[in-house]
Structure 1
Amino acid sequence: MINRRRFLTTAAASAALAPVASFAQEATQTSEVPEYLLPRIVRISEEFTPGEIHVLPSEFSLYWTMPDQKAIRYAVGIGRPGLYEAGEFYVGAKKEWPSWRPTDDMIRRQPEQYEQFADGMPGGVNNPLGARALYLFAPGRGDTFLRIHGTNRPSTIGTAVSNGCARLVNSHMVHLYNQVPLQTRVVLYSAA
């Protein structure tokens, strides 16, 4: 079983936090996110397999694990209390500029906000799933309707605002998307 505390301790203790160069320049030019939210390469425990995604809601971070005990840490927005779902998943689908339809539960909870989109919304800059989306599946369950996706609302990064998904700024999501193959293991840790 994965030890969340060990993952956090190792990543947080990394003294050499280095921003990923391409993002540092891009985000500064576009004022997309403050510097402290830029993706950074961090050291992690050797027990973590390269090529996995780990989401730590307590620190609003997503880690893409790499060889040599390194990971890229991305700042994320997460699901609101009661809507965030911890567990182990896998990437069952990937989509560029995905279309979106609120789930039936979302429409029931907030019809005034979501009913107008009951027939769906085509992909594009105003779509809530942003530029790219990773669709999370679970064995025996299929599509969980949980996503790791982009957003054009950088102010939501570092907050618990979504209907259960993890969101990154679009440029960061494109970078992550390009690295993540189908069937990638995804661990969403408990919010506690």
Structure 2
Amino acid sequence: MDSGRLSRRSFLSGSAAGLGVLGLGAVGLGGCASSGGMTRAQAALAYAALPDEPYPVPAVDLDKVDPKFYRRTVPYETSEAPGTIIIDPSSYYVYFVEGDGTATRYGANVPKPEFLWDGTAYVGRKAEWPIWTPTRDQIGRDPELKKYAGGMPPGLENPLGARVLYLYQDGRYTLCTIYSTVYPQTIGQGVSSGCVGLLTQDMLHLYARAPVDTNVVILPA
């Protein structure tokens, strides 16, 4: 098994250690979906290859993505301010609240059932093509990750991908992120130990609109 696959698998199976800081209460918000959305041809353009990235990103294999998870603008009623990110793990969606009663909706992968959490956080920092460093717990369970104790270099095999938003609470990094993935088959699935993944093309779209200090609301699953 190659090291890239191993490190990504370890990231997704993850560590519960980061969830210790997430003693969070439920937040009641809701959204609604409209009919329509991208056609297959439109999706092929939206999810085309990104050859100009430092590490060229392949086009999304649309055969592996349910069309309901294509990026789209939907009616969305919420008391949260425009610019807020809302994660709905029960529906596998991430919303970016617009200022006109709508939201941009992205299909997502979410934590495994045992690692689901809800409450509020904020974007404490963000990075392009970040370094990934496994936790001590991950290294303890998977000694082969010790070679990445000083950080895994950026690239397509890096679990965090091309862009990442690091989630914080009260000045502390929660060890949870919103990250980018080149694995379309994970969208609509529970795969991680607390993190949320978007297709790389969607993550670039969200990343450009979500500055540091962006509020993030995680709904109960």
Q: Tell me what 1:44 maps to.
A: 76
Higher strand share: 1
Q: Tell me what 2:148 maps to.
A: 117
Q: Deviations over 1:132-159 (max 9, x none)?
A: 00000001x5111110010111111111
Asked if structure 1 preserves the Cα contact closer than 8 Å seen for 2:183 and 2:199, the reply is yes
Change (3 A) 1:22 1:94: farther
Change (3 A) 1:38 1:142: same
Change (3 A) 1:133 1:184: same
C-alpha RMSD of matched pairs (Å): 2.4
With a CA cutoff of 8 Å and minimum separation of 6, indicate the structure with the bigger relative contact order.
Answer: 2
1:3 aligns with 2:28: yes
Task: Extract unaligned runs of 5+ from structure 1.
Answer: none
Asked if structure 2 preserves the Cα contact closer than 8 Å seen for 1:23 and 1:172, the reply is no
What letter corresponds to residue 134 of structure 1 in structure 2? L
Aligned length: 183
What letter corresponds to residue 18 of structure 1 in structure 2? G
Q: Tell me what 2:168 maps to.
A: 137
Q: Tell me what 1:25 maps to.
A: 45
Q: Tell me what 2:209 maps to.
A: 179
Residue of 180, 190, 214 corresponding to 1:150: 180
Residue of 99, 116, 126 corresponding to 1:94: 126
Change (3 A) 1:98 1:77: same
* Segment drifting more, 33-42 vs 86-95: 33-42
Asked if structure 1 preserves the Cα contact closer than 8 Å seen for 2:27 and 2:118, the reply is no
CA–CA separation in structure 2 for the residues paired with 1:2 and 1:36:
25
Task: Extract unaligned runs of 5+ from structure 2.
Answer: 1-25, 50-58
Instruction: Report the TM-score when normalising by structure 1.
Output: 0.84
Q: CA deviation at 1:26?
A: 3.0
Change (3 A) 1:22 1:134: farther
CA–CA separation in structure 1 for the residues paired with 2:217 and 2:78:
17
CA–CA separation in structure 2 for the residues paired with 1:31 and 1:125:
13
Identity between Structure 1 and Structure 2 (%): 36
